[in-house]
Amino acid sequence: MNTGRLIFAQLMDFLPLAEFRRCVARYHGEYKVRGFSCRDQFLCLAFAQLTYRESLRDIETGLRAMQPQLYHLGIRGRVARSTLADANETRDWRIVGDFAQTLICRARALYCDEPVAVELAQTAYAFDATTIDLWLALFPWARFRRAKAAVKLHTLLDLRGPIPTFVAITDGKAADVTVLDTLVFEPGAFYVFDRGYTDFARLARITAALAFFVIRGKRGLAYVRRVSRPVAKTTGLRSDQTIVLCGPKTATLYPVPLRRITYVDPDTGKRFVFLTNNFALPPLQIAQLYQCRWQVELFFKWLKQHLRIKAFYGTSVNAGKTQVWIAISVYVLVAIVKKRLGLPQSLYTILQVLSVTLFEKTPIHQALAPMTDPSTEGDACNQLLLFDR
């Protein structure tokens, strides 16, 4: 069925284009647009992410080099640097933001049965933020410090996959913990945070939503111990306690009991204190669940290393958010392709293969199939001898 079709076109077949058209219509993305559609803009920026284009001129040059193939890629409009720049500046970033959420929903359905490092029946999420440094002269709207600009990427990551389920983009000055106010907490789910998110008013809101949190405790917390439970110290656990906060503010903000678990990493000897409102899970599972939070750090590292979000194609807020959301869409699209084609390779390997094969006319499942070592395939008895003995 895919004989003679470019791999880029086959890859884009995994996109629900009907949903994309709904997103465009929702925000009137093609009002008074004639030649260069929102779909053309998305495909050009997706091409840029997959092939590591450095600038709009780089995108233009790369696509114009394949001018006879653009129609078969799905790009109908004329690709020009100025046209793409205008589209990034004026077309609402929420078009690609909503479309990315559609892809995320599909990816989560595919990865819902993926195992987590901890045996857990409930859904578990990790929440964190990363900073993307910018040049203040070009991005004055993103002022972070006196001579520095930055934006923050706040992400709620489903630990089954891992797939981002919530993404917010703010300027560098925004406090990380304030983004928790925009989350809708899922009853019964676990939310894992670093200690920078210690805010007992917001943690109380998680408890009120019948969800669970695991957070690393800060030093100097005022509390009263109510119950101490025995722990197996050979596993690294040191204590498992029920506590009540007794600080002048914290006791009012979070008046119900908390669980406090102390754990020492056997490999590094580092001591951790965890606070949670879940009293049912074994204490070692709570410690292991917090260790899974590292996946969100790996997600940020993956995005920064393998997709284009550290250098932007435009300097406006709209252009920046459009680029970040398309980068996330490409990440999720690769995850969908990996699952639907049953590929054993990592997302990094799949992305590397796609980056050099986008314009080949090979069935995509064949191009992404695991490579075999030629030296292991049978006996090379038909090889000619260089020297006769």
Residue 7 to residue 365: CA distance in whole angstroms: 10
Whether residue 277 is contained in a domain is answered as yes
Does residue 68 or residue 284 have the better pLDDT? 284
Picking from 45-54, 119-128, 373-382, which range would have the lowest pLDDT averaged per residue? 373-382
- Which of 51-55, 119-123, 224-228, 352-356 is the least confident region? 119-123
- Do the domain assignments include residue 361? yes
* Mean pLDDT, rounded, for 243-267: 94
Flag whether 251 is in a domain: yes
Q: Are residues 279 and 333 in the same domain?
A: no
3-state secondary structure the chain: CCCCCCHHHHHHCCCCHHHHHHHHHHCCCCCCCCCCCHHHHHHHHHHHHHHCCCCHHHHHHHHHCCHHHHHHHCCCCCCCHHHHHHHHHHCCCHHHHHHHHHHHHHHHHHCCCCCCCCCCCCCEEEEEEEEEEECCCCCHHHEEECCEEEEEEEEEEECCCCEEEEEEEEECCCCHHHHHHHCCCCCCCEEEECHHHCCHHHHHHHHHCCCEEEEECCCCCCEEEEEEECCCHHHCEEEEEEEEECCCCHHHHCCCCEEEEEEECCCCCCEEEEEECCCCCCHHHHHHHHHCCHHHHHHHHHHHHHCCCCCCCCCCHHHHHHHHHHHHHHHHHHHHHHHHCCCCCCHHHHHHHHHHHCCCCCCHHHHCCCCCCHHHCCCCCCCCCCCCC
Which one has a higher pLDDT value, 34 or 227? 227
pLDDT band (50, 70, 90) for residue 23? very high
Q: Is the pLDDT of residue 376 over 50?
A: no
Q: Report CA dihedral (103, 104, 106, 108) to the nearest 10 degrees.
A: 160
Q: Is residue 349 part of a domain?
A: yes
Q: How far apart are CA 139 and CA 315, in angstroms?
A: 6
User: What local confidence, expressed as pLDDT, does residue 96 receive?
Assistant: 95
CB 318 within 8 A of CB 85: no
**Of 241, 258, 292, the domain-final residue:** 292
pLDDT value at residue 386: 46
CA dist 312 and 133 (Å) reads 11
Q: Please say which residue of 292, 323, 355 terminates a domain.
A: 292
Confidence of residue 271 (pLDDT cuts 50, 70, 90): very high
pLDDT grade for 2, boundaries at 50, 70 and 90: low
CA 29: distance to chain centroid? 25
Assess whether pLDDT exceeds 90 at residue 148. no
Q: Considering the domain boundaries, does residue 77 fall inside one?
A: yes
**In this prediction, what percent of the chain has a pLDDT beyond 70?**
94
Q: Tens digit of pLDDT for each residue in 25-78?
A: 999 998 888 788 999 999 999 999 999 898 999 999 999 888 888 888 888 888
Model confidence at 380, pLDDT cuts 50, 70, 90, reads very low
Would the pLDDT of 241 be above 80? yes
Same domain, 285 and 211: yes
- Neighbouring CB atoms inside 10 A of 51's CB total 18
Within-domain flag for 298 = no
Residues 284 and 333 in one domain: no
Task: Assess if residue 181 is contained within a domain.
Answer: no
pLDDT, averaged across the chain:
89
pLDDT at 381 over 70: no
Shared-domain flag, residues 287 and 320: no
Give the pLDDT band of residue 134 (cuts 50, 70, 90): confident
Copy the structure tokens of residue 388: 């006769």
Please state, in angstroms and rounded to a whole number, the distance separating the CA atoms of residues 278 and 257: 10
pLDDT category of residue 137 using cuts at 50, 70 and 90? confident
Instruction: Please tell me whether residues 271 and 340 are part of one structural domain.
Output: no
Any domain includes 91? yes
Position with higher pLDDT, 117 vs 163:
163
Domain that holds residue 354: 7-96+315-367
Count of structural domains, the chain: 2
For residue 270, the model assigns a pLDDT of: 92
The predicted pLDDT at position 373 comes to 52
